[in-house]
Amino acid sequence: MRIGITCYPTYGGSGALATELGIALAHRGHEVHMISYASPFRLRHFAEHVFFHEVDLTSGAYPLLEHFPYPLALAVTQHEVASRQHLDVLHVHYAVPHATAAFLAKQMLAGERDLKVITTLHGTDITLVGQARSFFTITKFSIERSDAVTAVSDYLRDETYRAFDCQPCKIEVIPNFVNLAEYFPLDAAPRPEFARAGTKLVVHVSNFRQVKRVPEVVRVFARIRAAVPAVLVLIGDGPDRAEAEVETERLGIRDEVFFLGKLDTVADLLQAADLFLLPSTSESFGLAALEAMACGVPVLASRVGGLPEVVVDGECGWLIPAGPRDTEAMAERAIELLRDVPLWRRMREAAVERARLFSADRIVPQYEQLYRKLAGA
C-alpha cells in the first residue's frame, strides 16, 4: 500500500512511534511517505521505501502573518503528496493540528477520490493540549471526522470518550510497540566510563516537559545514591532541564548526574542500565519505559494513565501511587531492587518477557489490517 504519515519531528513519543511505524511498514513492503515540517528525529538514515516530504514554511511567510498558519501549509503538502503519490491512506499522529489538516486535505481531494484518514491519539493531544479552550471544539470535530481513530492505550481511549464525548467515533486501541531487533537485553553490555565497577546506572529518557517531573527524577536519585553507589543519566532536553540541573547542585550530586541531551538512539545505554525512572504526572502509555523493559531494565514509575497497561506492578518494576511520600517510596523501592541481585534478575526477565507482547511484529499488522479495511483492499 501507499501510506502517508504525519507526525511531529521533535523529540517525543508520538514522533518516535510514527517514524518506527513508517520504517516497519516499509520493511513489510509498503511505500511510506512521511510528511512534516522537518525530518523526524528517528529518521536519520536512508530507509528503503521511506520518503520524507518537508512542509514549506517559507514561501507563504509574509509580515502580515505574525503567526505562520502551519496547519494550512501542512494540509497543502498532505493533499499534494496524496494526489501525486496516490496514497491509499493518510495516517496522522497527535490530533492537534494534524487531524484537522488531514480533514482539509481529504476535502481538497474529494473530487478525485475518498482519501481515508486515520488519527492516532497519543497523549497530551487529548489530556492537555486538545482540551485547552483554544483547541477543544476543533479537536473533537477533527477526531469525529477521521475515518478511523486509534488510541495507544485503553486509558487514553476512555479519557477521549470522557473528555470529548465523541459520539459517532469508535476508538480502536492499538498499543505502542518496540522494535526488538534494536531494543534487546545484552548481558555485560559496555558501560559508560562514569558507570564502571560496582556503580549502578539509573536512566531517564524524556522531553523534559513538566509532566515528566525531571527535577523529581533527580530528587529520587539523590536518595538512591545516598544508599547505593550509582550515577544518573538523563537523556533528552526540554523546558525543565535548567531546573533539574539546579536541583543536582542543591543536592550536592552534580558529579553523579550526567545530562546527555537529545540522542537519536538510546538502546545501547539502556542495555547497560540497571534501572529506569519515570515519575510522570501523566502518561498515556510510556513508550520510553517499554523500550527500557525490552532492554531488560526494570522500571520505577508513577501509577498514572496507561502505565499499568505496560509495566506490571511488582513484576517488571513498581508503580508508585501519587502522594506526599512518593519520592521516598520510589527511592525505597529502587534501593531494594538495586541491592537484591536475584530480585533484580527476576524483574529484568519479566520486563523482557512483557515487552515481547508489544513487539513490532505483533502490533504493526494491526495497523495494516486497519488500513486494508479502510482502503477496501
Which of residues 97 and 123 has its CB atom nearest to ligand GMT in the complex?
A: 123
Q: Which of 3, 4, 5, 13 binds ligand GMT (CB under 6 A)?
A: 13
Q: Is 121 in the site for ligand GMT (CB under 6 A)?
A: no
Contacts of 96 (CB under 8 A, 6+ apart): 125, 129, 130, 135, 139
Q: How far is the CB of 306 from ligand GMT (least distance, A)?
A: 7
Q: Is 130 in the site for ligand GMT (CB under 6 A)?
A: no
Tell me, residue by residue from 81 to 100, as one string, x for binding to ligand GMT by CB under 6 A and - for no binding: -------------x------
Q: What are the cell numbers at 346?
A: 527476576
Q: What share of the chain is helix, strand, coil (3-state, %, to 5)?
A: 45, 20, 35
Which of residues 127 and 271 has its CB atom nearest to ligand GMT in the complex?
A: 127
Q: Is 287 in the site for ligand GMT (CB under 6 A)?
A: yes
Instruction: Tell me the window of 6-14, 42-50, 53-61, 327-335 that interacts with ligand GMT (CB under 6 A).
Output: 6-14
Q: Is 183 in the site for ligand GMT (CB under 6 A)?
A: no
d(CA 36, CA 360): 23
Q: Where are the alpha helices (DSSP H) in 172-325?
A: 214-227, 241-250, 267-272, 287-294, 307-310
Q: Is 140 in the site for ligand GMT (CB under 6 A)?
A: no
Contact present, 94 and 14 (Cβ < 8 Å): yes
Nearest C-alpha neighbor of 245 from the set 229, 201, 272, 256: 256
Residue 64, amino acid: L
Q: Is 124 in the site for ligand GMT (CB under 6 A)?
A: yes
Instruction: For residue 180, list its beta bridge partners.
Output: none
Q: What are the cell numbers at 222?
A: 539523590
Q: Which of 6, 78, 248, 284 binds ligand GMT (CB under 6 A)?
A: 284
Question: Rule CB under 6 A: which of 211-250 touch ligand GMT?
Answer: 211
d(CA 166, CA 147): 13
d(CA 76, CA 73): 5
# residues near ligand GMT by CB under 6 A: 20
Q: Is 6 in the site for ligand GMT (CB under 6 A)?
A: no
Instruction: Tell me the window of 49-57, 74-82, 283-291, 314-322 that interacts with ligand GMT (CB under 6 A).
Output: 283-291
Q: Is 122 in the site for ligand GMT (CB under 6 A)?
A: yes
Instruction: Tell me the window of 207-215, 267-275, 326-334, 351-359 that interacts with ligand GMT (CB under 6 A).
Output: 207-215
Contact present, 98 and 74 (Cβ < 8 Å): yes
Instruction: For residue 52, list its beta bridge partners.
Output: 34
User: Interface with ligand GMT by CB under 6 A: which residues?
Assistant: 12-15, 17, 94, 122-124, 152, 176, 207, 209, 211, 282-287
